[in-house]
Structure 1
Amino acid sequence: MKLVAGNIYVHKDQLDGLDPMVKEAVREALQLTPITDWSDFDLVRYTDKLDEFSFLSYSSFLEDAFPRLLKSHKVQLSKRSVSFRDYRDSSNPPILHRKELFSVFDSELLEKWSALTLALEEVGAFDEPLKIGFQNQWVKTLHAKGFYVDGHHLLPLANQDSLVDRITLIESNGSMVQRHLTALTRYALSAPVQQLIRCGLLMKESSFFDYGCGRGDDLRALLDNGYQAGGWDPHFANEQVIYEADVVNLGFVLNVIEDPLERSLALKKALKLAQKVLSVGVMVANENNVSGTPYADGVLTSRQTFQKYFSQQEFIDYLFAQTGLMPFPVAPGICLLFKDEDVEQRFLLGRQTSRSVVAEGFHYRREQRIRERVPRPRAVKQSIFEANRELLDELWEQTLILGREPMPEELLNLSQLIDVFGSLKRAFKLNWNNQNATEFELASKQRLEDLTVYFAMEKFRQQRPYKDQPTRLKTDVKYFFGSLRSAQDAGFSLLKSVPDLKSLWEDAKRGAECGVGFFDESTDQYFIPADKLSFQQPIVRACVGCAAALYGDAASSSLIKVHIRSSKVTFLTYDDFYGKPIPLLVQRVKINLKTLRMDVFTYDGPFTPIPLLEKSRFLSEGDQGFLEQFNFDIRLREEGFFEHEFDVLSFETIQKFLHDACLQISGFDLLLVDKAPDVGAPCGRYLMFRDFFLCGETQAKFQIFNLPKQVETYRAYYLLAKNVLDPLIDYFGPIKLTYGFCGSKLRPLIKKRVSHDRDQHASFEKKRNGEFVCSRGGAACDFIVEHEDMYEVAEWVAGNTPVDRLYFHGSDRPIHISYKLVPDGEFYQVEESDSGKQLTKKLIFS
């Protein structure tokens, strides 16, 4: 049996020895799961409340030093609910430590496991328990200590270089998701230009012209970063030459032109300049920006400037009516108009092409193999495959990316392959005979799904047929579908399945089980981090794709919410989704797929940004920063934050809640506040800090200003109130504090004999030499509940709170209690002998 942070872990072979009530609860929970075979799980995890149970299956429980979690079935008995999580494909699964605590195995195994744990303890591997629960962080911790585990042996790393390489490898590849932004300073570019770069349409070899460039902020940023850029503006740059370019931007120009004819001419002039693509940006109406005096088809603002606010659908319809081209939204208020069909098709195909998880996994292993390669002695003969492994791996990686064998024109190293192997066919054969066939099957399936979603979206947009297709797409269609008609039929079939709520629900559940989204069982809402959209099941991708046809580039949002019951999709954008532990909502765009209505809500000005809580729910354990977020969310829950009722939930109210607990947010951690709270501030739900600091006969007699000097002491008394006294007052009613904090001025006046180095009334106060007055830590107080038998009060406290120490002095006298983070749970009865000497003995409650 193992106890971790309030959770009890029991091996399945230990279940018979449990308390009958626990055993019955486990049996009831197990019946709710689909588990039918005893071999389908190894451990049971539960809490003493006997409501939540998890049945956990691990990899090679006996053989692996730190078994990886493969599957988890979580049951909540009170709700009769079951959730499943599949970790088998996770790049960073949870792992299990200290197997020797499950004492059902033979002594030889327990001795081997115990020896490894002892060796790890000696090198400090368990010093930071919050950082070692997942595989990648555990390996990184060991390497930082200079060790690695081979079998059940702890061994030193060979040299510092390999240590650095291994750590770098973990940091850079711990997540399959790469979230690097463009090298351009993001705040220096307007949203339309950012989208052009994000979509791969504006590159350094492209020519770019900004028609209506304003003061030229975009142009300066682009030129500084090596782009070919020019622009013109009637007010700020009217002396500049107007010329054609591959990419043209008409950013936030149409919305400031009050004359509809002039507005139309500006659009058509910009389109004429664009050789490949035109980006058009306008202001989009939301709940709080359409203000001003009505004028023409817009408003006059308080600054006497004209603004025309478009709805998204109105904007799309306007562009189509004026140009005859199909507009492609990439964000609210930003659309693309393509002049080059080939570029248009590549753009659309790219939006539905997911990063190949299989190919990325192979690339990671390939890089690792190259790093760790050991030169072979010349005398050792290698096979043709091994001798040319690097070249063949490169070919195999390209095969996985495409999901099929590459055509000769798709290979950059074609001549090298033919020189080495004589023919491309022979190179392929070597790979088929030596590489992982299952890997290819998964990659091919993923590519087929990408293409099916592409054709589904083409059907949804009711797009005109293209005159021709890019060569790669033609090859894909022939390989995966046989014909264009079959590809279009497959897309249409997928599109028809989107309104099937049962199929959508099943695909969403599967995504959550694989850790690429979060499914809210109570509302049937599915949350997807925008950068994980490509990892979703096809029906979910098609559903979001339909909404994105109106919204724009789904990747420009932070989090996507699929409302399965109501056929709606909401795109949520946060101020810094990955960079903050509690990001703030800045925009919410809801799309009704039945009516194709889009509502935009912007959170600024009088509208309070909504904080996102428990963000780790939406992350995968392989994401960079997951562990920090996960631990932050645990800390917030331990503080009782989620049981607190807020009148208005905002970042400011969160900060106030934490400040009352003497805490502040620092990065992804909760640290002590820099300055102690006011003595009149709340300390728990019923008391104030002054109640602990300015109480007792001695303090009242001498009027000692008895305040702590250490912020840790305030925090300790807050925890004492929150964990012990608040529940006590809930049950018995008001209490009377007779002795609380004892500071340096009060301590010499306490006449009774006290061992100050063990007196928790001093809490975390320090001596002049910097050492703590009391070595035990925590905080203590004495109190009485009037008209109550204090034995019954003491018995209740001992049985219902995490009290550290309790001293009972008699049924009508105050009791002494203390609290610290890891309570000892010791109870004593204090009696006075005939000679006046105090006698202390252990107190055992019935």
Structure 2
Amino acid sequence: MQPTWNSERRLTAIARAVLSVPARQALADRQLAPGRTVLDYGCGRGDDVRSLERLDCRITGWDPYYRSESKPQSADTVLLTYVLNVIEDPAERRHTLLQAWELANTVLIVSARLTWEKSKVQGEAFSDGLLTSRQTFQHLFGASELRNYVEEVTGTRCVSAAPGVVYAFKDDAARLSCLAHRIVPDAEWLASEDTASAITALIDHVERRGRPPRVEEMPHNVAELLAHLKPGELRRLVRDSADPAKVIEGGKRTTLNTLLFLAVELFNGRGPFSSLPFSVQLDVRAFFSSYKEACQRSDRLLLKLRDDTYVRGAMNASDVGKLTPTALYVHRRAVDDMPTILRLYEHCASIAAGRPQEWTIAKLKHQGRGVSWLDYPDFDKNPHPRLLSSYHIDLQTLETSHMSYANSANRPLLHRKHEFLTQDDPDAPRYQRLTEAELKAGLYAHPHMIGTENGWEAELIRCGRELRGHRLVRRMES
């Protein structure tokens, strides 16, 4: 049976000036890589199709109203972007998801509007959603509901890529490759245009990864540029040029990243050694006595994640982040420098609920298990950035919540910005000088006052100070 697409769904197809959130996320996660064919199933007006064509994606679009002249063809990657939530018949919704799944050769990317958008949808209860005055329908999904629904219909384990964006892979190796890309930050290679730059890229990779790469791991152009060198010559180049201290540190970092990957994979269902991405297999062979040993160590790491005392100890010992009586707050640039147990904590949350695209600070509770991603879009420009939104997941119940402060007249704001960063962050000294000046001026004398815009402005006036960029100066008399 073909879907009937009954209600006024064409009216939900908005015009886009920029790529949709799911398409941007898929690009970041390399699911729209060059060489892959892409189908936008239910593409609406086709704005994503046109934008991705300009990025050299081999993409076609099909829509029952706007592009129905030809039958949709299978593709490596299929986008099902904000389609499921506009179908009022649950049976048809399920059938549409199955149709899209059958068309996907490698991965199906499903996105839907979430329950936190309910205030934006005005309508009357109808079926399992809302019917608007324009006769359009919206079923708003919970973040975990969408993932569970896609897994149940497709019969495969999924990856929560972002809130309201789920990847369903036809091949488990592709799913693991996606997870590895998110967890192992040392897989990137420097650009190479000639033999000298290819050698530089090789040495850089060895220092960051802690081991020499196999030819199969190299980007194609790097492998071509180094093909005239014999294996012995490459080993000599690495031995003579790589910084031994950096190689040792790279090996330690890769060991921890591998443990983190295996722990996260157990959280999602761990497979045999042969199912691991090739580079991760090589990491296991280089830094562990066996796959069994690596798995045992990662399992112990997961057990420690349940221990409040251990987690709190890791937060106390962390060189990065601001620790409060309830949570550790860490800037996005410093998250990978947290202790491995805390990185695992944040990654498990991202797999369960999807990490939002826009966020600045990760908040990790130390009692119970919950992670929030806080968005301060002007963190680097504003000496006291304002909170725009918060996305939270409770890891005990897997319930998610979202809070927007965009229309708030008295938003929460940050102080002591340097505390959220690593000590060697280039901006940290400038932020710390501001904090010291504010302390000296008495601006932190009433901490209960300064957490919001109005309270902070009142304290600035009381102390006779104002801010010019990241400098505190005496307030000019009016």
Shared fold per TM-score greater than 0.5: yes
Aligned to 1:397: 204
Q: Of 256, 265, 290, which residue of structure 2 is paired with 1:458? A: 265
Q: Of 603, 623, 627, which residue of structure 1 is paired with 2:405? A: 603
Secondary structure of 2:44 counterpart: coil
Query: Quick one: distance in 1 between partners of 2:235 and 2:450?
Result: 63
Aligned to 2:40: 210
Aligned to 1:333: 164
Query: Quick one: distance in 1 between partners of 2:105 and 2:249?
Result: 39
Aligned to 1:344: 175
Secondary structure of 1:560 counterpart: strand
Letter in 2 for 1:540: L
Assess, with a 3 A threshold, how the Cα gap between structure 1 residues 632 and 434 changes in structure 2: closer, same or farther. closer
Contact 2:114 2:141 in 1 (8 A): yes
Assess, with a 3 A threshold, how the Cα gap between structure 1 residues 297 and 241 changes in structure 2: closer, same or farther. same
Q: CA deviation at 1:457?
A: 0.8
Aligned to 1:235: 65
* 1:585-600 alignment runs, 5 A limit: 585-600=387-402
Match status 1:518 vs 2:322: yes
Aligned to 1:188: 18
Q: CA deviation at 1:336?
A: 0.9
Aligned to 1:299: 130
Q: CA deviation at 1:605?
A: 4.9
Contact 2:355 2:373 in 1 (8 A): no
Assess, with a 3 A threshold, how the Cα gap between structure 1 residues 611 and 322 changes in structure 2: closer, same or farther. same
Contact 1:212 1:231 in 2 (8 A): yes
Aligned to 1:557: 359
Deviates more, 1:622-631 or 1:612-621: 622-631
How large is the RMSD of aligned CA atoms in angstroms? 3.6
Query: Quick one: distance in 1 between partners of 2:207 and 2:72?
Result: 45
Query: Quick one: distance in 2 between partners of 1:303 and 1:609?
Result: 35
Secondary structure of 1:642 counterpart: coil
Match status 1:221 vs 2:51: yes
Letter in 2 for 1:194: R
Query: Quick one: distance in 1 between partners of 2:298 and 2:231?
Result: 33
Q: CA deviation at 1:337?
A: 0.9
Query: Quick one: distance in 2 between partners of 1:594 and 1:449?
Result: 25
Q: CA deviation at 1:630?
A: 4.1
Aligned to 1:262: 92
* 1:510-549 alignment runs, 5 A limit: 510-511=317-318, 513=319, 516-520=320-324, 523-549=325-351
Q: CA deviation at 1:509?
A: 3.0
Q: CA deviation at 1:579?
A: 4.2
Q: CA deviation at 1:349?
A: 1.0
Aligned to 2:286: 479
Letter in 2 for 1:453: L
* 1:762-841 alignment runs, 5 A limit: none
The superposition leaves residues 669-724 of structure 1 with CA deviations (integer Å, 9 ceiling, x where unpaired) of: 56899xxxxxxxxxxxxxxxxxxxxxxxxxxxxxxxxxxxxxx443xxxxxxxxxx
Letter in 2 for 1:351: R
Assess, with a 3 A threshold, how the Cα gap between structure 1 residues 582 and 206 changes in structure 2: closer, same or farther. farther
Q: Of 141, 151, 159, which residue of structure 2 is paired with 1:320? A: 151
Aligned to 2:313: 506
Aligned to 1:112: none
Query: Quick one: distance in 2 between partners of 1:453 and 1:632?
Result: 36
Letter in 2 for 1:483: S
TM-score by length of 1: 0.48
Q: CA deviation at 1:197?
A: 1.4
The superposition leaves residues 27-76 of structure 1 with CA deviations (integer Å, 9 ceiling, x where unpaired) of: xxxxxxxxxxxxxxxxxxxxxxxxxxxxxxxxxxxxxxxxxxxxxxxxxx
Match status 1:311 vs 2:118: no
Letter in 1 for 2:91: L
Assess, with a 3 A threshold, how the Cα gap between structure 1 residues 609 and 202 changes in structure 2: closer, same or farther. farther
* 1:713-792 alignment runs, 5 A limit: 713-714=477-478
Query: Quick one: distance in 1 between partners of 2:140 and 2:241?
Result: 60
Aligned to 2:101: 271
Assess, with a 3 A threshold, how the Cα gap between structure 1 residues 395 and 234 changes in structure 2: closer, same or farther. closer
Q: CA deviation at 1:535?
A: 2.2
Assess, with a 3 A threshold, how the Cα gap between structure 1 residues 208 and 668 changes in structure 2: closer, same or farther. farther
Letter in 1 for 2:139: K
Q: CA deviation at 1:324?
A: 0.6
Q: CA deviation at 1:635?
A: 5.4
Equivalent pairs counted in the alignment come to 456
Query: Quick one: distance in 2 between partners of 1:301 and 1:665?
Result: 47
Aligned to 2:420: 618
Letter in 2 for 1:580: N
Q: CA deviation at 1:326?
A: 1.1
Query: Quick one: distance in 2 between partners of 1:390 and 1:230?
Result: 37
The superposition leaves residues 549-569 of structure 1 with CA deviations (integer Å, 9 ceiling, x where unpaired) of: 212136653211111122322
Letter in 2 for 1:223: E
Contact 2:130 2:138 in 1 (8 A): yes
Letter in 2 for 1:508: M
Q: Of 382, 392, 395, which residue of structure 2 is paired with 1:580? A: 382
Unaligned runs of 5+ in 2: 1-15
Query: Quick one: distance in 1 between partners of 2:451 and 2:399?
Result: 29
Q: Percent identity?
A: 27
TM-score by length of 2: 0.82
Q: CA deviation at 1:267?
A: 1.3
Letter in 2 for 1:325: T
Assess, with a 3 A threshold, how the Cα gap between structure 1 residues 650 and 536 changes in structure 2: closer, same or farther. closer
Letter in 2 for 1:573: D
The superposition leaves residues 818-840 of structure 1 with CA deviations (integer Å, 9 ceiling, x where unpaired) of: xxxxxxxxxxxxxxxxxxxxxxx
Aligned to 2:255: 448
Query: Quick one: distance in 2 between partners of 1:547 and 1:555?
Result: 14
Query: Quick one: distance in 2 between partners of 1:303 and 1:668?
Result: 49
The superposition leaves residues 464-490 of structure 1 with CA deviations (integer Å, 9 ceiling, x where unpaired) of: 558744332332222223433333222
The superposition leaves residues 77-103 of structure 1 with CA deviations (integer Å, 9 ceiling, x where unpaired) of: xxxxxxxxxxxxxxxxxxxxxxxxxxx
